[in-house]
Amino acid sequence: MATYILVHGGGMGGWVWKYIAAPLRSAGHIVHTPTLTGFGDRHHLISCDIDTAVHATDIARMMECEEVWDAVLVVHSYAGAVAPLLLTMAGDRIRRVIYLDAIVPMAGESVAEAMGFLSAEAVVGLRAQHAAGQGPLGAGVPDQVRKMADIEPQRMSADRDAWVFRHLTDMPLSANICAIPVGADAITHRVDYLGVPHTMMHPMHARADALGWTVHQLGGDRDHMVHVGDPDAVLTYLIE
């Protein structure tokens, strides 16, 4: 039996792990699927004060309250930017890390810069707005995902596609533009990186490889939402 902590990506929530968590629990494993502050069922808490440090603290405090030890940490997409700081806060409670097509951050950069969404100048301007109590609270993730899906539909059944879009919420813009305090190069745990062919994360795959992480390409007709569209492909790497 193993303990898993599954941390979602942008615009999602703990709900997105439904098709991963259920079979893991059926197999007798303990599974935690926390929702980060300002996302999903905690979207009502969105503010311009939420950053990756808040999200790392969300998970660290959950681990303390649930008395989690010897866990497998699985991070998807945005959560890759949260993992390095989390590992400095609660790394003794985690034995293995899996990045699922996730962001591989460098210290000092922002998620928006790492992903090429915004220039450094634009990020500085938005930070100034937030410091003045102005500017948008949300990053506009639902609209972005819908536009991307119009160009390249998500590779999953129609029912699951509709399910994802029913649950999408925005995420705090502040989490996308804050300076990441701890970079991925600071991680000393074993890291497996699971990449897919249909994704905007290819530069992150290269970063993972450069860090010496074990990079697995899931291949096939799989995309960034593989944990919903083809969960069995992910479960193969989660279950030791």
Q: How far apart are CA 74 and CA 191, in angstroms?
A: 10
State the DSSP string of 65-110.
HTT--SEEEEEEGGGGGTHHHHHHHHGGGEEEEEEES-----TT--
Q: Given this model, what pLDDT does residue 34 score?
A: 98
pLDDT in tens, 91-125: 999 999 999 999 999 999 999 999 999 999 999 99
Stated pTM of the model: 0.97
Q: How far apart are CA 109 and CA 145, in angstroms?
A: 23
- 223: which 2 tokens? 């995309």
165-173: average pLDDT = 97
Encode 205-222: b = buried (16+ Cβ within 10 Å), e = exposed. bebbeeeebebeebeeeb
CA 229 to chain centre: 17
42-53: average pLDDT = 96
Domains of the chain: 3-238 (3.40.50.1820)
Secondary structure letter of residue 179 according to DSSP: P
CB 198, CB 219: distance < 8 Å? no
